Amino acid sequence: MPLLIALLVFFAFAADYEGSVWIRLQNARVSQEANAMGDSMRVYRSYVQQYATTNRGYIGQVPDSVLPTWYVRPTTVGNYVSSGTAYVYNTAPPQGLVAAIATRSAYLATVGTNVNGRLVGPAIGPTSTQVTLPAQVPQGSVVITP
């Protein structure tokens, strides 16, 4: 009987350990997905901003045909350009995308979520300048602005 109790205790600890390993692996996968999407959005943003700077009078969405052919835009990522300013957004962002972009780049003050037409992010608080987003940027999307 004591051997059976010892085995049950051992299996209980093993199951708990396996569960915590699974949670860590899941968190790592989520983080990697957010980092990959964030890196992709930053590359996309640089080319969209380059187009916006070159074509200051352009208003609307920059078509993929004018961007490098090697870049394949994720279907959830889009852009809007107005008066030389580019807004790149993700309508179905993976968990942790804002943090992934903010911590891996200099975009800390210009990345966040569109909440009622305003950019809400990690460095944007009551004392900072409000960033107003165009109506064409979807509500609830993660946005990178210049």
Residues 46, 63: Cα–Cα separation, whole Å: 14
Residues 36, 40: Cα–Cα separation, whole Å: 6
Q: Does 140 score more than 70 pLDDT?
A: yes
From 22, 28, 26, 41, select the one nearest 97 (Cα to Cα): 41
Q: 37 or 12, which is more confident? A: 37
Tell me the per-residue pLDDT of 124-139, one tens digit each, with 9 for 90 and over. 545 456 789 999 999 9
Fold for the domain defined by 2-144: Beta-Lactamase (3.30.450)
